[in-house]
């Protein structure tokens, strides 16, 4: 383990790889700081530029962007009450009141320090858990994998913001969209309408760019008149004193562990992690009444947890090929584009890539901390960039990105179509995370189910007779039934007037 890590760190110490991690982190911070742009959008748009890079270089660049984008959103959340990324929503609760009270530097300083601690704690867990988990996962048979993915899908839908039914629809739709093309098991085309361009299926990149970037651009243009209120930036009080570190140490550690744990759970991501850590911090605080009115503990809990989800979410990705978040789903796509097959054998087949990912996560956190402490004042000015100029330019980059994958205009039309669909789904309250994760996981899920059935001559008995598939199945059923049970209990307590579960 140590040799692999040291080797990767030595590689990242070379000028070009280090430049890539630093560039990725800084770009991630900048994009995270611009309201309306997200890390998923940045990474999806950068993917085509990595085609000609070495796989390791491409992956470290994307990891830098991942870490940077989660942190960059802290600035807008604090200064504008507009979360730069969805994972910073909770930071607005206390960061903005602190900025309004004349302490923007203090809020940003606490947030940056908490982000750094969250990133490092989750990195330690990643370092020690990824390999043992991948060794364990190599024992998985097809039915274990099938039920694990099933559980991941239900979990994603059940914790998505809004209705669980909408989360399930989005997940199933992502699965269905991944199915056109030549069926790998039978070698026959399906859902192609005899249209040859669909024989290869819908590619991940145009769908991703459409769903995350184009839909966001459409939504931002609709809200183009939204005014941004400026808060005077004073960076006084950014550095935390020893007493601050002592006071916040337990909160930081607890929130980081919550964030890491939430990150490990497939597909949930940073938003839920920060909400859980914030709620826990509030429940355990001596001054819960300050939460929502500028509580320092609130900022620390939210930022430590959302950054901790990054390392946590990389664990199932590296160990099992299951994305821990939407950005991880995009990273899986990036690995596939570079002919790297994610999954439990990754440590054997592409150990250099795995160790580079783990090392890049550490280096990106250090760069993020140094850059944010040194230039947060400058970055905070970027968020006022006029969106009337920015959005059409990003649209051009989307078109180039979709086209560059295969040099076909068909991909550009696919991207635009999914952009409109993504916009409509968002307006109707359908979460987009389950859609992308369903799209990435469905081929694997179907392949495992069918190869399992091939092994057992069509019997699904192993799902009920082997311990792991049975556990995964029972958890899936419990997760599915939980909202209905909760709703039934509420209705029994509050009377029939309360709304049934969705």
Partner 1 sequence: MARGRSRRPRGDPDGTDTPAAPSAARNGAGLRGLAAWEVGVAGFLVAVCLIAIWELRDARPGTFEPLGSGPVPRVTAGLIIALSLWIAWRAWRRPAEAIVDPGYEPRPWDAAIVAGLTVVYVLVMASRTLGFAPLTAIFLTLAIGWLVRFRARTMPWVVLVAAITGWGCAYLFTRVFIVDLPGL
For 370, the enclosing helix (H) or strand (E) is helix 351-382
Q: Which range, of 199-207, 235-243, 328-336, 446-454, touches partner 1 by CB under 8 A?
A: 446-454
Residues in the chain: 502
Instruction: Give the residue carrying structure tokens 């826990």.
Output: 280
Q: Which of 22, 175, 301, 362 binds partner 1 (CB under 8 A)?
A: 175
The interface with partner 1 within residues 275-334 (CB under 8 A) comprises: none
Q: Which range, of 10-18, 46-54, 57-65, 108-116, touches partner 1 by CB under 8 A?
A: 46-54
Q: Is 176 in the site for partner 1 (CB under 8 A)?
A: yes
For residue 125, the minimal CB distance to partner 1 (Å) is 35
End-to-end CA distance of the chain: 46
Instruction: Give the SS3 label for residue 479.
Output: helix
Q: Which of 5, 9, 23, 173 binds partner 1 (CB under 8 A)?
A: 173
Please check whether residue 274 is in contact with residue 260, taking contact to mean a CB–CB distance below 8 angstroms: no
Cα(434)–Cα(442) distance, integer angstroms: 11
Q: Which range, of 113-121, 181-189, 246-254, 272-280, touches partner 1 by CB under 8 A?
A: 181-189
Task: Draw the binding track, 451-490, toward partner 1 (x: CB under 8 A; -: no contact).
Answer: x-xx---x--------------------------------
Q: Is 388 in the site for partner 1 (CB under 8 A)?
A: yes
Q: Is 382 in the site for partner 1 (CB under 8 A)?
A: no
Cα(153)–Cα(168) distance, integer angstroms: 8
Describe the chain by its helix, strand, coil percentages, rounded to 5: 75, 0, 25
Cα(66)–Cα(477) distance, integer angstroms: 32
Residue 227 or 286: the one with the smaller Cβ distance to partner 1 is 227
CA 90 from chain center: how many Å? 16
Q: Which of 1, 224, 249, 481 binds partner 1 (CB under 8 A)?
A: 224
141: left (phi over 0), alpha (psi -120 to 50) or beta: beta
Q: Which of 136, 138, 190, 345 binds partner 1 (CB under 8 A)?
A: 190
DSSP 34: S
For residue 135, the minimal CB distance to partner 1 (Å) is 29
Q: Is 166 in the site for partner 1 (CB under 8 A)?
A: yes
The site that binds partner 1 (CB under 8 A) totals a number of residues, namely: 63
Exposure class string for 91-108: b at 16+ Cβ within 10 A, else e: bbbbbbbbbbeebbbbbb
DSSP assignments along 65-95, one per residue: HHHHHHHHHHHHHHHTS--SSGGGHHHHHHH
Q: Which of 450, 470, 475, 491 binds partner 1 (CB under 8 A)?
A: 450
Cα(361)–Cα(393) distance, integer angstroms: 30
Q: Is 368 in the site for partner 1 (CB under 8 A)?
A: no
For residue 226, the minimal CB distance to partner 1 (Å) is 4
For residue 400, the minimal CB distance to partner 1 (Å) is 6
DSSP 345: T
Q: Which range, of 177-185, 235-243, 271-279, 353-361, touches partner 1 by CB under 8 A?
A: 177-185
Number of Cβ within a 10 Å radius of residue 375: 12
For residue 228, the minimal CB distance to partner 1 (Å) is 10
For residue 9, the minimal CB distance to partner 1 (Å) is 28
Number of Cβ within a 10 Å radius of residue 373: 16
Please check whether residue 264 is in contact with residue 316, taking contact to mean a CB–CB distance below 8 angstroms: yes
For residue 63, the minimal CB distance to partner 1 (Å) is 20
Q: Is 57 in the site for partner 1 (CB under 8 A)?
A: no
For residue 81, the minimal CB distance to partner 1 (Å) is 11
Cα(150)–Cα(160) distance, integer angstroms: 16
Q: Which range, of 71-79, 85-93, 188-196, 276-284, touches partner 1 by CB under 8 A?
A: 188-196
The interface with partner 1 within residues 397-436 (CB under 8 A) comprises: 397, 399-400, 403-404, 407, 409, 412-413, 416, 420, 424-425, 427-430
Cα(92)–Cα(229) distance, integer angstroms: 14
Q: Which residues bind partner 1 (CB under 8 A)?
A: 48-49, 51-52, 163, 165-166, 168-169, 172-173, 175-176, 179, 183, 185-186, 188, 190-191, 193, 218-219, 221-227, 388-389, 391-393, 395-397, 399-400, 403-404, 407, 409, 412-413, 416, 420, 424-425, 427-430, 442, 446, 449-451, 453-454, 458, 502
């Amino acid at each position: 383990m140590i040799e692999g890590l040291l080797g990767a760190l030595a590689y990242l110490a070379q000028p070009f790889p280090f430049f890539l991690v630093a560039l990725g982190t800084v770009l991630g911070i900048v994009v995270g700081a611009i309201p309306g742009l997200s890390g998923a959008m940045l990474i999806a748009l950068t993917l085509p530029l990595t085609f000609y890079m070495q796989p390791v270089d491409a992956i470290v660049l994307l990891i830098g962007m991942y870490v940077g984008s989660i942190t960059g959103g802290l600035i807008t959340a604090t200064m504008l009450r507009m979360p730069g990324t969805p994972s910073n929503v909770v930071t607005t609760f206390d960061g903005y009141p602190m900025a309004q009270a004349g302490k923007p530097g203090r809020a940003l300083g606490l947030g940056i320090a908490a982000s750094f601690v969250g990133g490092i704690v989750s990195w330690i867990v990643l370092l020690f858990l990824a390999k043992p988990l991948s060794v364990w996962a190599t024992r998985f048979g097809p039915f274990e994998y099938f039920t694990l993915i099933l559980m991941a899908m239900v979990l994603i839908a059940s914790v998505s913001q809004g209705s669980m039914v909408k989360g399930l629809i989005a997940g199933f739709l992502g699965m269905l969209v991944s199915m056109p093309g030549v069926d790998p098991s039978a070698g026959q085309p399906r859902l192609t309408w005899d249209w040859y361009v669909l024989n290869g299926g819908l590619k991940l990149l145009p769908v991703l760019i459409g769903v995350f970037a184009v839909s966001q651009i459409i939504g931002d243009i609709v809200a183009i008149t939204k005014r941004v209120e400026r808060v005077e930036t004073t960076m006084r009080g950014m550095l935390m004193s020893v007493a601050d570190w002592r006071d916040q140490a337990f909160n930081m550690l607890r929130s980081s562990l919550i964030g890491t744990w939430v990150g490990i759970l497939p597909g949930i991501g940073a938003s839920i992690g920060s909400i859980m850590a914030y709620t826990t911090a509030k429940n355990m605080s001596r001054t819960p009444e300050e939460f929502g009115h500028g509580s320092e503990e609130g900022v620390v809990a939210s930022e430590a947890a959302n950054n901790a989800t990054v390392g946590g979410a990389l664990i199932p990705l590296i160990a099992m090929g299951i994305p821990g978040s939407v950005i991880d789903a995009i990273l899986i796509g990036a690995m596939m584009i570079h002919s790297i097959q994610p999954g439990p054998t990754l440590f054997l087949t592409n150990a250099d890539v795995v160790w580079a990912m783990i090392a890049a996560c550490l280096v990106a956190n250090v760069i993020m901390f140094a850059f944010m402490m040194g230039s947060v004042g400058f970055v905070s000015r970027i968020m006022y960039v006029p969106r009337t100029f920015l959005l059409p330019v990003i649209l051009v980059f989307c078109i180039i990105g979709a086209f560059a994958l295969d040099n076909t205009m068909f991909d550009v039309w696919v991207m635009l179509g999914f952009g409109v669909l993504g916009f409509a789904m968002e307006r109707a309250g359908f979460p987009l995370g389950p859609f992308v994760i369903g799209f990435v996981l469905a081929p694997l899920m179907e392949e495992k189910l069918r190869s399992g059935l091939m092994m057992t001559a069509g019997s699904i008995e192993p799902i009920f007779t082997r311990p792991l598939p049975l556990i995964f199945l029972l958890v899936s059923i419990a997760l599915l039934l939980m909202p209905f049970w909760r709703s039934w209990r509420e209705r029994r307590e509050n009377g029939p007037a309360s709304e049934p579960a969705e």
